[in-house]
Structure 1
Amino acid sequence: MEEILNKFAQFAFLASGLMLAAPASAADYEVQMVNQGPGGQLMHFEPAFVSVMPGDTVTFLPTDKGHNSESILDMTPDGGSSWKGRTNEKITVTFTVPGLYGFKCQPHFAMGMVGLIEVGHDTENLNALVGVRLPPRAQARMFELFAKTIRGETK
């Protein structure tokens, strides 16, 4: 009986090690580009704030026509990639470098169509993003999104 228990313990130990070594699969998040958000806000990313882990992807969907998604100059972490989708283009971005990434719809940037992606719960570059000058409506909206990351929200 003791030999059976020993074998079982060895098996359980090996199985737990395999489970820890198995890579977690990356998740894909979707952000819709819409003319009107759920709260009535015109020209909106839904959701406008997304918290992901390194290796995850975000797919920007042109739900309504006339929108694009692109990173905002100086609003990506050091070593992070920027992106620029064309108008009406579905674009998928993989995030590997932790930090905050600001993004916009270029045609509706001045109207406040901006968003924020938090990668790996890392907010180290928040102060740098706060210092980036944006059009007034975009700035106001971005500060609302900064508040979400400060509060630890995930959506």
Structure 2
Amino acid sequence: MIVAPIMLSLTMSAMAADHEIKMMNRGEAGQMVFEPAFLQIEKGDTVKFIATDKGHNAETIAGMIPEGAAPFKGKINEEIEVTFDVEGAYGYKCAPHFAMGMVGLIVVGSAPANLDALNGARVPNRVRQIFDGLVTQIDQ
């Protein structure tokens, strides 16, 4: 009886995927961007934010993460790895370039329950436009 939970845990760990997001001064979508800016992943997956260019960080945006999820905040010029264990939508930003629209969206699972909170969060107009476009990419 003890072996079954251990095997299930190992199987789930083996199925978790690793993803990468680059923090960039210039990318396909313009200046001051995350690439990709949108990811839809599974619960237990890990995302590594890569400091491709200097002067960037990755951190959650207040009011734009699922209930019960832990916020994350990377340091400027440093990579950060985050494992996502709570399903929902996570808005994140580069703090120094937030007003310029350096934001992204990670969706864990499908049909995130916190989309209303994400859509209702107060953010600069440029950021709102970007999030509106990112939300349309969610597979539901």
Q: TM-score, normalised by structure 1?
A: 0.80
Q: How does 1:59-138 map to 2 (within 5 A)?
A: 59-138=48-127
Identity score, percent: 50
Q: 1:122 to 1:97 in 2, by over 3 A?
A: farther
Instruction: In structure 2, give the amino acid aligned to 1:34.
Output: M
Look up the match of 2:4. none
Look up the match of 2:21. 31
Structure 1 residue 122, shift from structure 2 partner: 3.5
After superposition, the C-alpha distances for 1:9-59 in whole angstroms (9 at most, x for unaligned) are xxxxxxxxxxx95613211100000011213x1100000001111111000
Aligned-CA RMSD value: 1.7
1:101–1:117 CA contact under 8 A, matched in 2: yes
Secondary structure of 2:134 counterpart:
helix
Pick the structure with more strand per residue: 2
After superposition, the C-alpha distances for 1:44-79 in whole angstroms (9 at most, x for unaligned) are 000000111111100000101100000000111011
Runs (5+) with no aligned partner, structure 2: 1-6
CA distance in 2, matches of 1:77, 1:136: 22
CA distance in 1, matches of 2:42, 2:22: 19
Q: TM-score, normalised by structure 2?
A: 0.89
Secondary structure of 2:11 counterpart:
coil
Runs (5+) with no aligned partner, structure 1: 1-19
Runs (4+) off by over 6 Å: none
CA distance in 2, matches of 1:122, 1:99: 8
* Number of corresponding residues: 132
Instruction: In structure 1, give the amino acid aligned to 2:59.
Output: E
1:98–1:122 CA contact under 8 A, matched in 2: no
